Amino acid sequence: METKALNSILYGPPGTGKTYNTINKALEIIDNKVPNNREEAKKRFEILKKSGQIEFVTFHQSYGYEEFVEGIKAKTINGEISYNIENGVFKKLCEEAIENSCYSNKDEIYQLKKLNSKITARMKKLNNGKFRVLKNSKIRKHETPSFNAKNIKEEFLKYAKYSEEEFYYILEEDYDFNTISGASSVVSGASSNGNIDWQPEEQSTIKNYIIIIDEINRGNISKIFGELITLIEPSKRIGASEEIQVKLPYSNEEFGVPKNLYIIGTMNTADRSIALLDTALRRRFEFVEMMPDYNLLDFKVDGISIKKLLTTINKRVEYLYDRDHVIGHAYFMELDENSTLNDLDTIFKNKIIPLLQEYFYDDWEKIRLVLNDGFIKSSKIKATHIFDTIDDDYIEEDKTIYSIQSDFTQESYQKLCQNI
């Protein structure tokens, strides 16, 4: 069986389907299969996101450790400000993954199953002696107990949603109890005499979790990851041969990254912030290059081969710039054999030419070399025609002016296709 990389980055020029393919990669990791139908794949992906198995974040220059791992955040309640330590998206996902991994302490995880009354629950014994009933437990509605500590029941059920069809509550958040009998009372509907039999699980259910980091190179990696830069390394994960756990700066909790949590990043090689990618991050990730797939464009629009069209453009861009700045197939994916020349014109005017302007810093001569004169026209202007007086120190006598053609003809596209 193929081993899946714990840390991977999909990298390549814009429009090559990096973010698009994170869905397929995530489903391969969690389900070991990807539906052939794209709509089904997206639907399954959204289900996994809602269930908490997949998190999607985008890095940017303002993104920090506090949002990703943990930090102190201020809250105003009844006019009073309080400061609380809150977990970031990555730490939350790690904790979820640990509870569903084979590296949880089996002696501290208990299960209760009563199929005849549709009650299922998982409970963890905490270090402070309390018992935590884990979310997704099912609690039979008509058997929820009536006992003196009503506030416990009321607080408990605040975190549950009611399914009318199945007649049970589904716990949406973890909830702590002081004693196992208190937990038994609420979960099973029995009296609080502690006669409910919670058995240690023989094996914890192993589920894979994924965090997708779009535009991973746009964030300040050292600022965001902090000590995680070491913990995400496969050999340093919980349960690995060189396992490392560190004490976090805000909560002072011991923290490690489990082996059932996968990190998938995307990186645009044409982005000017590419040089900011931390070297320490580079060596901890497996890099998967994604280049234009010309076979996806093997069709014609008004007799114009889109495959040949993009191939020519990219060969010229690669010659004048580099392969990291070629143009991806995704820019043309909205076209098909039923599209018109106007549809192709719209893509060129609104996407392709502006992208080339950015690539070549408005060097119109290079843009003209990429697209031919059928798209970019040039004209000579004499300074004497527009200025009354000429100062040779400031104004050249003649200057070349470039502009975009008002109309792109079928012949212009055909000529571009023939240059390969």
pLDDT at 69 over 60: yes
Cα–Cα distance between 342 and 374 in angstroms, integer?
A: 15
220, part of any domain? yes
Count of other CB atoms within 10 angstroms of residue 160:
20
Round to whole Å and give the CA distance between 123 and 207. Answer: 17
Q: Residue 181 pLDDT more than 90?
A: no
Domain shared by 284 and 298, yes or no = no
Asked if residue 299 and residue 410 are part of one domain, the reply reads yes
Position 144 scores a pLDDT of: 62
Co-location of 279 and 189 in the same domain: no
The whole-number pLDDT of residue 106 equals: 47
24-38, 248-262, 371-385, 404-418: least confidently modelled range? 371-385
Please state the rounded mean pLDDT for residues 283-298: 93
Q: Among 176-180, 318-322, 371-375, name the most confident range.
A: 318-322
Percent of the chain with pLDDT over 70: 83
Mean pLDDT of the chain: 84
Q: How many CA atoms lie within 13 A of 75 on its CB side?
A: 9
**Which of 234, 264, 289 is at the close of a domain?**
289
Distance, first Cα to last Cα, the chain: 41
Between 92 and 73, where is the model more confident? 92
pLDDT at residue 11 in the model: 93
Question: Tell me, what's the pLDDT at 317?
Answer: 96
Q: Are 235 and 229 spatial neighbours (Cβ–Cβ below 8 Å)?
A: no
Q: How many domains does the chain have?
A: 3
* Torsions phi, psi for 401 (to 5 deg): -110, 130
Give pLDDT, residue 1: 41
Last residue of a domain, one of 157, 174, 200: 200
Residues 67 and 174 in one domain: no
Q: What is the mean pLDDT of residues 315-334?
A: 95
Task: State which residues form the domain around 258.
Answer: 7-74+205-289
Count of all residues that appear for the chain in the document? 420
pLDDT band, residue 29 (cuts 50/70/90): very high
**pTM of the prediction?**
0.74
Residue 129 lies in a domain: yes
Same domain membership, residue 278 and residue 134: no
Same domain flag for 46 and 145 = no
As a whole number, mean pLDDT of residues 404-418 equals 90
Residue 305 pLDDT greater than 80, yes or no: yes
Identify which of 227, 238, 332, 347 has the alpha carbon closest to the alpha carbon of residue 280. Answer: 227
Residue 8 or residue 190, greater confidence? 8
Domain stops at, among 289, 308, 342: 289
At residue 278 the predicted structure's pLDDT band, cuts being 50, 70 and 90, is: low
User: Quick one: pLDDT at residue 394?
Assistant: 62
Compute the average pLDDT of residues 355-373. Answer: 92
pLDDT tens digits, one per residue of 143-170:
665 555 566 777 777 778 877 666 777 8
Instruction: Write 147-154 long-range contacts (CB < 8 A, 24+).
Output: 147/185, 147/191, 147/192, 149/182, 152/177, 152/182, 152/186, 153/186
Does residue 14 surpass a pLDDT of 80?
yes
Q: What pLDDT does residue 208 have?
A: 93
Whether pLDDT at 397 is above 70: no
Q: Kindly tell me if the per-residue pLDDT of 59 is higher than 90.
A: yes
Burial class (CB in 10 A: 0-12, 13-18, 19+), 389: exposed
In a domain, 332, yes or no: yes
Same structural domain, 66 and 138:
no
* Nearest in space to 45 (alpha carbons), one of 64, 57, 61, 30: 30
* Confidence tier at 107 by pLDDT (50, 70, 90): very low
Does residue 83 lie within any of the structural domains? no
Kindly state whether residue 94 falls inside one of the protein's structural domains. no
Over residues 210-247, the pLDDT tens digits come to: 999 999 988 888 899 988 889 999 999 987 888 899 99
Say whether both 70 and 134 belong to one domain: no
For range 44-56, the mean pLDDT:
94
- Ramachandran class of 257: left when φ > 0, alpha when ψ lies in -120 to 50, beta otherwise: beta
Question: What digits encode the pLDDT tens for the residues 368-387?
Answer: 999 988 899 888 887 766 76
Q: Identify whether residues 181 and 214 lie together within a single domain.
A: no
> Is the same domain home to 20 and 117?
no
How far, in Å, CA of 248 to CA of 91, rounded?
11
Residue 116: band (very low, low, confident or very high) from pLDDT cuts 50, 70, 90: low
pLDDT the model gives residue 174: 83
What pLDDT score was predicted for residue 309?
96
Handedness of CA 298, 300, 306, 308 (dihedral sign): positive
Q: Hey, what are 360's tokens?
A: 């070549």
Q: What is the pLDDT of residue 18?
A: 95
- Between residues 204 and 266, the one the model is more confident about: 266
Q: Are residues 298 and 407 in the same domain?
A: yes
Given this model, what pLDDT does residue 348 score?
96
CA dist., res. 326 & res. 12, Å (int): 9
Average pLDDT for 286-302: 95
User: Is 96 inside any structural domain?
Assistant: no
CA–CA dist 99, 143 (Å, integer): 27
Do 378 and 412 share a structural domain? yes
Report yes or no on 79 lying in a domain. Answer: no
Is the per-residue pLDDT at 204 higher than 60? Answer: no
